Structure 1
């Protein structure tokens, strides 16, 4: 997909057409499909002319066997051409939608974290699934009839002008009347369709929030609350569906009414012209047959028009995703190894208008352990996010040696970093899948055994019947918290990162699990530059440097002994932690 296209500047129709162009449909297939549609419709034009000849000079002697054979052959060819046209247009439609979903998926995967801070996951899912389904329905179910219908209408009008131009002009009155109806109601349908897709996205978002956390719902007796949320979404979608039905109930009958009036007028006016001798009976029959070839496609075009309004509404929502800037993983210099000091200079950061970090200055020395402690909400995790380049500082710079880290490719920077969170999320799949996640090479069982032993995970893994091929369930629900943490540590060990980031990796564990996880972390930290966020003092007391962060500011820096002597809040923090640890030991 070409970058930098501003879809919103194109307008609804051009936006839809441009988006279809971006999916790069096969031009050859489209041309062949159109040719088949032309052949199908062209053969259909011969039937009224053949009927006219029969009516004007009907007798058994007038029947020409060759003409009948040719007519049968024409019908067979028409059926074959029609089938090919429908298949090819459906093939194009499915290909367009597949490419559109591919574009969206590629875009979504590479969107920066701040996009996901702003938009709910359910809304994004709705754009990929529901909105593209609307476009798919338009192309695969209605486009074929639309193209054939347009050809039929244009061809029939041209032939009718030759048959009797006066009657044709009477018939053409229907076109401006129909356009007035479609224009007036089309904008209404467009707005309703946008509202329908937005409500569908909200409902999808509710499902996406509730179903993964169904245990929390049941534990909180929140079934009725969540039912009401879902019921509200279902009701709103139903209301928009009724509005859509009302517009369709107006469009189709009104177009049919206009066409029937024109048909009656043509029959009446044609009867007068036949009686006066200006037209033959055969001409009149042919005219009516051609008129039918116009009326039926007009009805199909009416349905296509309403679906097109829905598709344009969906297109507008799809383009809100496609217009977002993405992370380019490969722009910049490739980083081979991190063997220099990381320096944070005068860094500020704000979410929207809320300032989180202010004038942060510190260094992370190569091969040393740097800990960040302090009250919750002080900005510790945000600092991690800046170091991982999920966000860019509002002001200031982060350097590796003398080089700003933004000058390195994202891919090479992140490949040198390992991250273990407070609650490490696992993907649905096996233990092997989770440990090897993101590794683009085959990993042997021997290598898995090595890293899981270092992570103190091998013992419990070996007890499972399927060992490394054991299913962990959605988000690792089949494993305990301590087991999930050790799987995450094994994953980090397999990546062999040069910088290790531990975000309160033991704070949610019981004492027994913490002992195993802490041993695993000790193995993981050996020889690596490590940055630790922790509430428990025992995990950071031996750090080479401790940074105390309050309300986005560093208020103290030094070793545990130095801070205990000079920093009042750290001393209070440490004293509380020591009391907690003593209580835990006495309980054991």
Structure 2
């Protein structure tokens, strides 16, 4: 978040503008607020009815009509208040639903670069925790603020009519209460803002640790991660204590002001009653109206505190909504993807002062296998990200045939790409869901079985109790690495892509799983333009072309045999790799 805060006017207008975009039910909101106002007006009658009851009180004068009117007022007030509360909650829930929908739609369309720069857990907190802050304002505080203002103004007006001298004494209470409550409200806002930020950080920490709980346990890192989580919990605890300290002052201070006002009213009012200037019923009414002035002051202060919190929360939402989203529709459709992919003087860096790829020029022939090899950190994965159009080159261009790939829509480009990575991530759901993931058409059982069969996955799927309806667990944890890879290959086969991108899909598998996956990959690669990031040279020595990438530059290109003869660094690299693979195979035997 930027340190410089916008002017309050801008912040408040942005808040109301954002709420307006959710298309709230203005009719329901107005109706709910109207009911709240009516309820408040009805409550203003109660002290007057009490005054009449006290002034004319005797068993002989007490009529059923008086009791009935008072009972009816209480019942009407309770009924209207209950329905107003429901209507406000309905309006609040509708606005929160609208905010959540806007944020989710935006997040799902943001480019990969956004998620590289922003912690996922903190983003999740914006969608969940921050929207609930706005809901609290709408459902609990707006009504209290409006009715509180009406209650204060209405009570003071009636009191002036009844006895202006005693009312002036009561008026001393209002600024006194404001002097106490306003600074407390500001303090509460500051603490609440810090709590929101700390909650977002803690959510981010949980989201970072829990999905990798197996790594935590395998590394005996429970104590270290417990310490990090404990620090977040203690930070929230300390903020909670600060909030509790401030809140603990509100009740006693309000009580102190109220008691002082009561003593003043009863003392001065009692003198007027004894002199006959004021009736006993009027004094009772004064005391009741005093409560209707003091108590809403807390509601009014809470409204401004919650409004500030909501403005702070919506600032973060506005920042997300202002991010430029990925446009997947603009551009033409690819009519023929079986063309060479050309990289012409492509350069790229994630930051302006950093260059990862430098002046990359190469041609990836259609229908052939091109392997990208080289030391770790040389830029191989970054090159893949450019080909997938997660990022755009900072210089140069990538072409399909003779057309720059950015002239094609992202949707069309990605429809023609099949991607199988080392990890082959799966979504929580069934095997069927994962094989069909992303397809915008119905897949028949025959197509599903054929894709699984070609990926050498059908046999293990058929051996499972629920077959294709088997749940894979979070990130596919219920399946082995080889099984996940074959599911990913079946997914790619079902898409029938023209361009295949493999991030060395067998590098982390045991020998038996590698055998199955390699056979599946050979089926998948047949007749397709294939680009492979090779971590083990033994898997790509037969590639039609190898590009040797080091420190962001292509320093060698050709077949394995050509590079062995002409590129000394490749030769050293290859000999080390092949020797390592041979040693591993011997150990396995």
TM-score (norm 1): 0.92
Pair 543,61 (structure 1): closer, same or farther in 2 beyond 3 Å:
same
Q: How does 1:16-95 map onto structure 2 within 5 Å?
A: 16-59=15-58, 63=62, 65-66=64-65, 68-95=67-94
Q: Check whether the contact 1:344–1:397 (CA below 8 A) recurs between aligned residues.
A: yes
Q: Check whether the contact 2:189–2:306 (CA below 8 A) recurs between aligned residues.
A: no
Distance 1:339 1:71 in 2: 85
Pair 194,72 (structure 1): closer, same or farther in 2 beyond 3 Å:
closer
Greater Cα shift, 401-410 or 21-30 = 401-410
* Structure 1 residue 376: Cα displacement: 0.7
Greater Cα shift, 340-349 or 457-466 = 340-349
Match of 2:345 in 1: 346
1:334 equivalent in alignment to 2:333: yes
Secondary structure of the residue that 1:418 maps to in structure 2? strand
Q: Check whether the contact 1:100–1:132 (CA below 8 A) recurs between aligned residues.
A: yes
Secondary structure of the residue that 1:377 maps to in structure 2? coil
Match of 2:455 in 1: 455
Q: Check whether the contact 1:126–1:201 (CA below 8 A) recurs between aligned residues.
A: yes
Match of 1:246 in 2: 245
Distance 1:408 1:276 in 2: 92
Distance 2:314 2:573 in 1: 54
Pair 531,8 (structure 1): closer, same or farther in 2 beyond 3 Å:
farther
Q: How does 1:147-162 map onto structure 2 within 5 Å?
A: 147-162=146-161
Q: How does 1:197-208 map onto structure 2 within 5 Å?
A: 197-208=196-207
Secondary structure of the residue that 2:398 maps to in structure 1? strand
Secondary structure of the residue that 2:204 maps to in structure 1? helix
Q: Check whether the contact 1:7–1:319 (CA below 8 A) recurs between aligned residues.
A: no
Distance 1:27 1:89 in 2: 11
1:407-436 alpha-carbon deviations (Å, 9 max, x no partner): 322222212211100111112222111111
Match of 1:176 in 2: 175
Pair 283,238 (structure 1): closer, same or farther in 2 beyond 3 Å:
same
Distance 2:236 2:490 in 1: 46
* Structure 1 residue 449: Cα displacement: 0.9
Pair 343,561 (structure 1): closer, same or farther in 2 beyond 3 Å:
same
* Structure 1 residue 174: Cα displacement: 3.2
Match of 2:437 in 1: 437
Secondary structure of the residue that 1:351 maps to in structure 2? coil
* Structure 1 residue 15: Cα displacement: 4.2
1:19-52 alpha-carbon deviations (Å, 9 max, x no partner): 3323222101011111211221222222222223
Match of 1:267 in 2: 266
RMSD: 2.5
* Structure 1 residue 470: Cα displacement: 1.6
Distance 2:268 2:360 in 1: 87
Secondary structure of the residue that 1:346 maps to in structure 2? strand
Match of 2:163 in 1: 164
Secondary structure of the residue that 1:355 maps to in structure 2? coil
* Structure 1 residue 63: Cα displacement: 5.0
Q: Check whether the contact 2:46–2:73 (CA below 8 A) recurs between aligned residues.
A: no
1:312-351 alpha-carbon deviations (Å, 9 max, x no partner): 4433443343332222222333334423332222222112
1:116 equivalent in alignment to 2:115: yes
Distance 1:334 1:255 in 2: 68
Pair 276,348 (structure 1): closer, same or farther in 2 beyond 3 Å:
farther
Match of 1:3 in 2: none
Match of 1:103 in 2: 102
Instruction: Structure 1: give runs of 5+ residues left out of the alignment.
Output: 1-5
Greater Cα shift, 172-181 or 214-223 = 172-181
Secondary structure of the residue that 1:250 maps to in structure 2? helix
Moved over 6 A (4+): none
Distance 1:419 1:403 in 2: 22
Distance 1:14 1:391 in 2: 34
1:482 equivalent in alignment to 2:482: yes
Match of 1:226 in 2: 225
Distance 1:345 1:159 in 2: 82
Distance 2:148 2:33 in 1: 12
Secondary structure of the residue that 2:183 maps to in structure 1? helix
Q: How does 1:304-453 map onto structure 2 within 5 Å?
A: 304-352=303-351, 353-453=353-453
Secondary structure of the residue that 2:359 maps to in structure 1? strand
Q: Check whether the contact 2:182–2:301 (CA below 8 A) recurs between aligned residues.
A: no
Q: Check whether the contact 1:7–1:15 (CA below 8 A) recurs between aligned residues.
A: no
Distance 2:101 2:276 in 1: 63
Secondary structure of the residue that 2:548 maps to in structure 1? strand
Distance 1:114 1:224 in 2: 33
Distance 2:370 2:66 in 1: 93
* Structure 1 residue 533: Cα displacement: 0.7
Q: Check whether the contact 1:336–1:412 (CA below 8 A) recurs between aligned residues.
A: no
Pair 181,16 (structure 1): closer, same or farther in 2 beyond 3 Å:
farther
Q: Check whether the contact 1:193–1:309 (CA below 8 A) recurs between aligned residues.
A: no
* Structure 1 residue 199: Cα displacement: 2.0
Q: Check whether the contact 1:251–1:302 (CA below 8 A) recurs between aligned residues.
A: no
Secondary structure of the residue that 2:358 maps to in structure 1? strand
Distance 1:415 1:128 in 2: 30
* Structure 1 residue 520: Cα displacement: 0.9
Distance 1:81 1:568 in 2: 86
Match of 1:568 in 2: 568
